[in-house]
Structure 1
Amino acid sequence: MDKNIIISLRNISKRWEHKEVLTDINFDVRRGDFIAITGPNGGGKTTLLRILLRLLKPTEGTVTYFHDGVPVDNLSIGYLPQKNLIDSKFPIDVEEVIASGLIGEKLSKDEVRTRVGEVTRLMGLESHSRASIGNLSGGQLQRALLGRAIISRPKLLVLDEPLSYVDKRFEHYIYDLVAELSKTTTLLLVSHEMSTIAGMANRHLIIDHSLTECHSAHHHVHYECDDEDCACC
């Protein structure tokens, strides 16, 4: 058993009311990977991430977590979902959103307060720290959710369209942040904005109901979001 494997997906399929969303997906996530995932809308990218995170059961197949080659029940994972999966009417403020990423962590109240303050500043949300999420712009909410994903300093970080809704200035900031995180954190990142992300990643997966891994020598993925086949170049 490869001790660098932290997640193994085998023979994953998912059907919704007789519609095949994912078919026979097999791949491993290894410690230190930076995996860039792309594919057409409706191709199953988010469904695959939710299965990988055990938020959704596959119709067939298995998801196994490992620590040093031994199967385990849980991993330290940070997750940034798509914004449209969040109920903006839920009565919670920015600091509470960010702090919720520490649920289950054994930290003192002072440590929690310190870390929440650090991440709030990192996300540029100091002036909105007590604002209800219902009063945030799309980009501000996205930053709060990113803060929640990274605050526990997870071993694996899963980002589903992290650039959604953010402005160009913060988009470049996220590129820098992701590049820094990739030095110490295993990353899975779904994005249609692949030009910059692809240059950082060491693996590229294309999800269109099935999985294709691009083995381009210089890690550049070009994906056309129409009926044409995706291409590695």
Structure 2
Amino acid sequence: MSSVDNKVIEVSGVSLCYDRLPVLENINLDIYKGDFLAITGPNGGGKTSLLRIILGLLKPNIGKVHYYRDGHWVRDLNLGYLPQKNGIDSRFPITVSEVIASGLMNGRSLGRLSVEQYAMVSEMIHLMGLEELADRPIGGLSGGQLQRTLLGRTLVSQPEILILDEPSSYVDKVFESRMYDLLKDISYKTTILLVSHEVNHVTELASRTVRINKTLQEVL
């Protein structure tokens, strides 16, 4: 398969300003099927804004983002996203297992999940090390436990492209190492975009690394 057929995302001439201040300037980036792309750069350099533009959550002032599958332009892809700052209300009466299961619901109620899907949720609870917390409301979780729950929700849907913004935020070093091992295991079948300030660890796993500081400064 050619590189054109392998392309899944094309960021073309993207620029973004807030109150006339440049956040991103003329970003051009092609992402290919099977990439494990590490995105690094200083705080305020535009990394999260770039992810949000790729996801369609933020509209650039200039430029376009296109999605592709098998060499053909498509309107959407199966994208999984773990933001740096979650917007979930910890007062909402929902348990850990229900949050993870929500990654499979697609508008259906929890009771409509198949036996196979319930098994997927159980396996993800195990992978996230949350067995003892499965029935606990999210309001009783620590920051790290909630981050693991939200990561589980993102992964259980088996997205074509996994987009992670500082996924190690709040988690301890033991789970951080486990998380990176898990990402390495799934990278053969999942395209991964990962923003991190921990350059050394992430770039060891990544197939490509880009540095963003308003412009795309370098590709290593």
Q: TM-score, normalised by structure 2?
A: 0.91
Give the counterpart of 1:111 among 106, 116, 123.
Answer: 116
For residues 65-97 of structure 1, give each alpha carbon's deviation from its aligned partner in whole angstroms, at most 9, with x where no partner exists: 011111111111111111354433333221122
Give the counterpart of 1:200 among 188, 205, 208.
Answer: 205
Q: Which residue of 2 aligns with 1:176?
A: 181
Structure 1 segment 58-207 matched on structure 2, within 5 A:
58-104=60-106, 108-207=113-212
Q: Percent identity?
A: 52
Give the counterpart of 2:48 among 46, 49, 63.
Answer: 46
8 Å CA contact 1:120–1:147 kept in 2: the answer is yes
Structure 1 segment 220-231 matched on structure 2, within 5 A:
none
Alpha-carbon distance in 1 for matches of 2:19, 2:70: 38
Q: Which amino acid aligns with 1:53?
A: L
Q: Which residue of 2 aligns with 1:8?
A: 10
Alpha-carbon distance in 2 for matches of 1:21, 1:200: 28
Deviation of the 1:45 alpha carbon: 0.6
Distance change in 2, residues 1:88/1:44 (3 Å): farther
Identify the range of structure 1 (196-205 vs 94-103) with the bigger mean alpha-carbon deviation: 94-103
8 Å CA contact 1:32–1:185 kept in 2: the answer is yes
Give 3-state SS (helix, strand or coil) of 1:83's partner.
coil
Specify which structure has the bigger relative contact order, considering alpha-carbon pairs within 8 angstroms and separated by 6 or more residues: 2
8 Å CA contact 1:8–1:64 kept in 2: the answer is yes
Distance change in 2, residues 1:83/1:128 (3 Å): farther
Alpha-carbon distance in 2 for matches of 1:30, 1:124: 31
Alpha-carbon distance in 2 for matches of 1:191, 1:17: 26
Identify the range of structure 1 (128-137 vs 43-52) with the bigger mean alpha-carbon deviation: 128-137
Deviation of the 1:16 alpha carbon: 1.6
Alpha-carbon distance in 2 for matches of 1:61, 1:193: 29
Alpha-carbon distance in 2 for matches of 1:44, 1:191: 12
Deviation of the 1:108 alpha carbon: 4.4
Alpha-carbon distance in 2 for matches of 1:167, 1:73: 38
Deviation of the 1:111 alpha carbon: 2.3
Tell me the C-alpha RMSD between the 2 structures: 1.8
In structure 1, the gaps of 5 or more residues are: 216-233
Deviation of the 1:105 alpha carbon: 9.0
For residues 40-74 of structure 1, give each alpha carbon's deviation from its aligned partner in whole angstroms, at most 9, with x where no partner exists: 11111111101101111112111110111111111
Identify the range of structure 1 (24-33 vs 130-139) with the bigger mean alpha-carbon deviation: 130-139
Aligned length: 215
8 Å CA contact 2:79–2:163 kept in 1: the answer is yes
